[in-house]
Amino acid sequence: MANHGRRKSKKIWIWMIVGVAVLAGAGAAVRAALKPDNKIDPSKLAKVERGDIARVVVATGKIEPRAIVEVKSKASGIVKNIYVNYGDTVRAGQVLAELDKEELEARVREARANLQAAQAMEESAAAALERNKVEAEGPDLPFLKSAMERAQRMHEEKLVAKNVVEEAEKAYQLALNRQSAAVRALAVSRAEITRARAQVAQARAVLERAEEDLRNSTIVSPIDGLVLSRDVEVGNAVSSILVLGSQAKPLFMLGDVSDVFVRGKVDQADIGKVYLGQPARIVVESFRDRRFEGKVYRISPYGVEKDNVTTFEVQVSIHNPGRELKANMSANAEIILEEKKNVLLVPEAAVVYDRDRNPSVEVPDPAAEKGRRKLAVKLGISNGIKTELLGGLQEGAQVILQ
């Protein structure tokens, strides 16, 4: 009986110990559950780093060649040969294409023959004018008049017959008639030579135009540059720009892409900070990890309002000797207003501002309530992603992103 009592008492103690342990574990679990977790999510932590920062105005636009030319034909005809394609580099004066010259050469031959005929007519008119000038002066009239008067005196002296006098008078009268006719013809000859000279000038102009058309049938590049587009094929008929004007179809588009620019828009709130020669960096989608250097070279004085927003056109030039930048690429020109090198930077997302716009950041601090502590800082310029840190933290310090 005594042994049975002792065993029963031992079991009771064991169950009591187990119960206490369970209660202690449950209490610890409850305390752990109720205790706040001060551990900071690593994804919310960032470091104060050293680097470069710039405050910029962004002008968004397209890459355009500084010099761009539409090549149109000055002659009409059928395209016979094409020597370049888009993407080719060309020099000023290089032959791009040729029209069929057969008809143009025939026009030159015809115009040259017409000029020669007109020149012959001019020479004939000039000879007739000189002849009429001589006859109008009547060079034989004094001699014939003297002969007539001598014959009359000799007839009065009964030295010659009457018919000799009559012949002398007739010769003199005929000379007078010829002189009178020559005087009248002289005016006609002058008119004829004026007309002949006009016909020569007209024929020469037609020849020069035909020769110019023949020369223009060889289409050459007006600039050094790149063929941006080719809009013609062999066998196409083209019309002269001299006939159709701006309606004439362009054959090629050429551009000098070694020197390009971005034509962008700047809001009126920022345009006062932009000036000629201001440095800029150009970002394009095709070269995300590269920045191209540029400068502001043109600012429009005239703002354009759209959707109640006034913007000004700004052009930023870019030196592009490698021709990596292509015409019509989308680009952002970051016009640099202010730039700092090798300064402390803190993420903009870590900065908190109070009601008075005083900046501060939160830093990890296990001893503090919630495991974080607010710290006042002094800031400089910002690019919207990072901010210059002037004081309050050291390089490498951790901050908490908000």
Using the 8-state DSSP alphabet, how is residue 261 labeled?
Answer: E
Count of beta carbons in the 10 Å neighbourhood of residue 94 = 13
What's the start-to-end Cα distance of the chain, in Å?
Answer: 73
Query: Are the CB atoms for 152 and 162 separated by under 8 Å?
Result: no
Query: Locate tokens 């018919």: which residue?
Result: 163
Given its phi and psi angles, is residue 357 left (phi above 0), alpha (psi -120 to 50 degrees) or beta? Answer: left
CA distance linking residue 363 with residue 21, whole number of Å:
40
Torsion 197-200-206-208 (CA) sign = negative
What pLDDT is recorded for position 299? 93
Given its phi and psi angles, is residue 282 left (phi above 0), alpha (psi -120 to 50 degrees) or beta? Answer: beta
3-state helix, strand, coil in the chain (%, to 5): 40, 35, 25
Count of beta carbons in the 10 Å neighbourhood of residue 332 = 17
41 three-class SS: coil
Q: Which long-range contacts (CB under 8 A, 24 or more apart) does 195-204 make?
A: 195/125, 196/118, 196/121, 196/122, 196/124, 196/125, 196/126, 197/122, 199/118, 199/121, 199/122, 200/115, 200/118, 200/119, 200/121, 200/122, 202/118, 203/111, 203/114, 203/115, 203/117, 203/118, 203/119, 204/115
The residue among 312, 309, 242, 248 whose CA lies nearest residue 275 is: 312
Residue 271, beta-bridge partner list:
none
Q: pLDDT digit of tens for each residue in the chain (402 aa)? A: 445 555 556 566 666 675 656 565 555 444 544 445 567 788 888 999 999 998 888 888 888 888 888 999 988 889 999 999 988 889 999 999 999 998 888 999 999 999 999 889 888 878 777 776 666 565 666 666 776 677 677 767 777 677 776 777 777 677 766 767 666 667 777 777 888 889 899 999 999 989 988 999 999 999 888 898 899 999 999 988 888 877 888 999 998 888 889 988 888 888 888 999 999 999 888 887 888 889 999 999 999 988 888 999 999 999 887 788 888 888 989 899 888 999 999 999 999 998 888 999 998 888 887 888 888 999 998 888 899 999 888 998 999 888
Count of beta carbons in the 10 Å neighbourhood of residue 365 = 15
What pLDDT is recorded for position 59? 86
What pLDDT is recorded for position 167? 79
What pLDDT is recorded for position 276? 92
What pLDDT is recorded for position 87? 84
What pLDDT is recorded for position 26? 52
CA distance linking residue 189 with residue 136, whole number of Å:
12
Domain ranges, ordered by start, for the chain: 47-66+254-400, 73-97+221-250, 101-216
Question: CA 55 → CA 163, 318, 343, 382, 384, distances in Å?
Answer: 123, 20, 14, 6, 9
What pLDDT is recorded for position 22? 57
Question: CA 309 → CA 67, 304, 305, 312, 376, distances in Å?
Answer: 30, 8, 5, 10, 37
Residue 108 has phi, psi (to 5 degrees) of -65, -45
For the domain spanning 47-66+254-400, the CATH number is 2.40.30.170
pTM of this prediction? 0.55
Count of beta carbons in the 10 Å neighbourhood of residue 344 = 24
